[in-house]
Structure 1
Amino acid sequence: MEPVERLYLDALMEDPAVPGHSLRPQLLAGARARRRPAAPTAPWAEPFAGRVAAMDALLASAVDDDWSRVIVEGWTLQELVAHLAAKDGLLAASVGAPVLGPPLGATSAVGRTSDVQAYERARSPEQTRRDWRAQADALCRHLAGLSPDTPATLDGMSAAVRDHVLARCLETWVHTDDAARTARVRLPHPVPEHIHPTADLCARLLPWTMLLSGLDGSGRTVLLTLTGDGGGEWHVPLGGEGSGVLELDAWREGDGWRRADARITADVVSFCFLLGGRGDPSSFAADLSGDLSLARDVLSSAPALSGP
Structure 2
Amino acid sequence: MEPVERLYLDALMEEAAVPERSLRPQLLAGARARRRPAAPTAAWAEPYAGRVAAMDALLASAVDDDWAREIVEGWTLQELVAHLAAKDGLLAASVGAPVLGPALDALDAMGRTLQVQEYERARSPEQTRRDWRAQADALCRHLGGLTPDTPATLDGVAGAVSDHVLARGLETWIHTDDAASVAGVRLPHPVPAHIRPTADLCARLLPWTMMLSGVDGAGRTLHLILTGPGGGEWTMPLGVHDTAPGTPDVSITTDVIDFCFLLGGRAEPESYPAEITGDHALAADILRTAPALSGP
Aligned partner of 1:114 in structure 2 is 114
Contact 2:106–2:112 (CA under 8 A) maintained in structure 1: yes
Inter-partner Cα distance in structure 2 for 1:243 and 1:37: 41
Q: Which runs of 5+ in 2 are unaligned?
A: 19-23
Residues 183 and 225 from structure 1, CA distance in 2 versus in 1: closer, same or farther, beyond 3 angstroms? Answer: same
From 252, 256, 275, the counterpart of 1:268: 256
Contact 1:13 1:37 in 2 (8 A): no
SS at match of 1:186: coil
Separation in 2 of the partners of 1:73 and 1:242?
Answer: 36
**Do 1:262 and 1:292's aligned partners in 2 also have CA atoms closer than 8 Å?**
yes
SS of 1:67's equivalent in the other structure is helix
Gaps in structure 1 of 5+ consecutive residues: 1-6, 246-257
Question: Is 1:210 matched with 2:210?
Answer: yes
Equivalents in 2 of 1:242, 1:136: separation in Å?
35
Quote the residue 1:251 is aligned against. Answer: none
Does structure 1 residue 75 correspond to structure 2 residue 75?
yes
Aligned ranges for residues 182-221 of structure 1 at < 5 Å? 182-221=182-221
Deviation per CA, 1:115-143: give whole Å up to 9, x if none: 00000000000000000000000000000
Q: Write the letter of the residue equivalent to 2:208.
A: W
- 8 Å contact from structure 1 (residues 11, 37) kept in 2: no
TM-score, with structure 2 as normaliser: 0.94
Corresponding residue SS for 1:222: strand
- 1:12: how far off? 2.4
**Are residues 1:32 and 2:32 paired?**
yes
Deviates more, 1:234-243 or 1:291-300: 234-243
**RMSD, aligned α-carbons:** 1.9
**Cα distance in structure 2, aligned partners of 1:239 and 1:112:** 32
CA contact (8 A) 2:28 2:61 kept: yes
Match of 2:21 in 1: none
Identity %, equivalent residues = 73
Q: Deviations over 1:261-285 (max 9, x none)?
A: 0000000001000000101000000
Q: 2:281 — aligned with what? A: 293
Question: For the residues of structure 2 that align with 1:243 and 1:163, how far apart are their CA atoms?
Answer: 19
Q: CA deviation at 1:235?
A: 1.0
Measure, in 1, the Cα distance between the counterparts of 2:260 and 2:8.
Answer: 25
Farther-moved stretch of structure 1 (258-267 vs 46-55): 258-267
1:277 paired to 2:270:
no
Moved beyond 3 Å, runs of 4+: 13-20, 241-245
SS in 1 for 2:38: coil
> Matched residue pairs, number?
289
* Equivalent in the alignment of 1:3: none
| CA deviation vs aligned residue, 1:13-53 (integer Å, no higher than 9, x gap) | 56996695342211111100100000000000000000000
Question: Displacement, 1:10?
Answer: 6.4
SS at match of 1:97: coil
TM-score w.r.t. the length of structure 1 is 0.90
CA deviation after TM superposition for structure 1 residue 260, in Å: 0.4
Do the aligned partners of residues 242 and 128 (structure 1) sit closer, same or farther apart at CA in structure 2, a change above 3 Å counting?
farther
Displacement of 1:11 in angstroms is 6.2
Answer yes or no: is the 8 Å Cα contact 1:105–1:112 preserved in 2: yes
